[in-house]
Amino acid sequence: MEHVHSGSGTGAEYQYAGFWLRFLAAAIDGIVLWAASALTFDLIRKAQGIGRWDFSWVDIVEFIAEAAYFVILTVVYGQTLGKMVVGIRVIPQEGGANRWGAIILREVIGKFVSAIILLIGYLMAAFDSKKRAMHDRIAGTYVIKVR
């Protein structure tokens, strides 16, 4: 069993969340975002006469809304809805609360880097002793089990 110290000086220990738990959380988040998109952005596209594959202002707003979903929930709760369901949380490696800058770096820039070369940055979590993906390393975070 792998553990990480909180770094907060409390001596608390946490168990790292593995690749498959993280994958399941991401799949749940994908379903949530797909449903939200279908109920909002797809209807806006249809009302505006914008084809699904035509790039428009709606795509920019949708990207910002999806990024906000990940950033705001992770800063405020340490978890997206998918992470809440599977019982995992993002924490900073130095302990304390998640900070806006680090989480924006993790969720926007870091995940882009993780995905850019055949998703290798995501797959790193399956083989890393601390279960860290590339975006965790970039932002200085861990994903831990909370139950």
Distances (CA, A) of 62 to 20, 56, 68, 123: 27, 10, 10, 26
% of the chain residues with pLDDT over 90: 86
pLDDT at position 107, please? 98
pLDDT at position 11, please? 47
Residue 30: which pLDDT band, with cuts at 50, 70 and 90?
A: very high
Mean pLDDT of 124-139: 96
Q: CA–CA separation, 91 vs 6, rounded Å?
A: 8
Distances (CA, A) of 52 to 2, 33, 37, 59, 141: 45, 16, 12, 10, 35
Q: Are 145 and 15 in contact (CB under 8 A)?
A: yes
Most confident of 5-9, 52-56, 130-134: 130-134
Q: CA–CA separation, 21 vs 145, rounded Å?
A: 9
pLDDT digits (tens, 9 = 90+) for 59-68: 999 999 999 9
Q: CA–CA separation, 105 vs 136, rounded Å?
A: 9
Distances (CA, A) of 33 to 37, 63, 101: 6, 11, 23
pLDDT digits (tens, 9 = 90+) for 94-117: 999 999 999 999 999 999 999 998
Mean pLDDT of 43-54: 93
Domain boundaries, the chain: 13-145
Top-confidence residue, 85 or 4: 85
pLDDT at position 3, please? 53
